[in-house]
């Protein structure tokens, strides 16, 4: 019968010998193609079993050297959610989100383990941060896809990169642990489900073959004019977008905050020790 046995499984899940895409693979592509950010959720909790499915999928994400250089902070405390809704650009919907996950680049676990076994161990540096941050973001996006598959809607909160010192204190983050991604989610309202997707640039403009294509990159003005509503008053749209995003106060703060985050990562325990010695010398 059709669909039975190993060949049937292959047809349903992946590609058959002719390269035709199976039903489950098509559903995965449909899920990815239909994704959009959702910020308004129904007033109902995400069952623990559903959350655990999302987290289980998340920790199966690709990871550099299978080191899992990240930690997921599951924010369940309502007061902490409220504080984060303020520190993350005053966005009240964060406090109302049933699911709030913060993904931290984390080299502390491995670094401390190395120190226990190896005689000479260097401090985590720039490359280690990049690997850990990449691990964290990949795991976060895997969680977002899993949440979509389970009927939830999600939204990334880039403002977790701002106010580093305050977020480090709020989340009790030690050295070599830094927040790089924040994902909020819940069951979306009907309005959010039916809301149109925001447009994206086309594949041809974003994919360069065998190297960076300056001609394609220089098409940016045309790429913007091709967006709905941008053809008219193009310069006005660009100015407004620049002021709202790139030149905005939050963007300036994000740059300051990320520099502080990286400085703390590089200096680590050495900086804390030096600070402690300085305070002690004044007694």
Q: Is the separation of the CB atoms in 71 and 104 below 8 Å?
A: yes
pLDDT of residue 282: 43
Strands (E), 95-247: 99-106, 153-156, 177-186
The model's confidence at residue 15, banded by pLDDT at 50, 70 and 90, is low
**C-alpha torsion sign, points 112, 117, 119, 122:** negative
Q: Is the separation of the CB atoms in 70 and 146 below 8 Å?
A: no
Residue spans in the chain of domains classed CATH 3.40.109.10: 36-198
**C-alpha torsion sign, points 158, 77, 135, 266:** positive
| pLDDT, tens only, 126-166 | 999 999 999 999 999 999 999 999 999 999 999 999 999 99
C-alpha span between 121 and 111 (Å, rounded) = 8
The model's confidence at residue 23, banded by pLDDT at 50, 70 and 90, is confident
Q: Is the separation of the CB atoms in 57 and 66 below 8 Å?
A: no
**CB within 8 Å of 104: residues ≥ 6 apart:** 70, 71, 72, 73, 136, 171, 173, 177, 178, 179, 180
| pLDDT, tens only, 52-82 | 999 999 999 999 999 999 999 999 999 999 9
pLDDT of residue 35: 95
CATH number of 36-198: 3.40.109.10
Is the predicted pLDDT of residue 225 greater than 90, yes or no?
yes
């Amino acid at each position: 019968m059709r669909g039975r046995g190993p060949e049937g499984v292959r047809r349903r899940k992946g590609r058959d010998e002719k390269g035709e895409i199976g039903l489950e693979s098509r559903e995965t592509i449909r899920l990815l193609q239909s994704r959009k950010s959702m910020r308004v959720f129904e007033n109902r909790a995400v069952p623990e079993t559903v959350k655990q499915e999302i987290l289980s999928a998340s920790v199966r994400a690709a990871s550099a050297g299978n080191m899992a250089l990240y930690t997921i902070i599951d924010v369940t405390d309502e007061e902490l959610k409220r504080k984060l809704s303020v520190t993350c650009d005053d966005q009240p919907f964060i406090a109302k989100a049933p699911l709030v996950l913060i993904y931290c680049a984390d080299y502390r676990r491995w670094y401390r383990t190395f120190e226990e076994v190896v005689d000479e161990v260097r401090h985590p540096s720039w490359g280690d941060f990049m690997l850990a941050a990449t691990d964290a973001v990949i795991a976060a996006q895997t969680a977002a896809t899993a949440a979509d598959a389970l009927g939830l809607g999600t939204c990334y909160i880039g403002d977790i990169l701002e106010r580093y010192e305050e977020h480090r204190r709020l989340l009790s983050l030690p050295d070599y642990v830094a927040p790089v991604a924040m994902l909020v989610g819940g069951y979306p309202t009907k309005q959010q489900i039916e809301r149109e997707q925001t447009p994206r640039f086309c594949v041809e403009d974003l994919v360069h073959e065998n190297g960076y294509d300056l001609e394609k990159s220089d098409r940016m003005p045309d790429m913007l004019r091709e967006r709905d509503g941008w053809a008219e008053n193009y310069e006005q749209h660009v100015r407004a977008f620049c002021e709202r995003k790139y030149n905005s106060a939050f963007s300036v703060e994000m740059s300051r905050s990320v520099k502080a985050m990286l400085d703390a990562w590089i200096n680590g325990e050495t900086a804390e020790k030096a600070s402690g010695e300085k305070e002690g010398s004044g007694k």
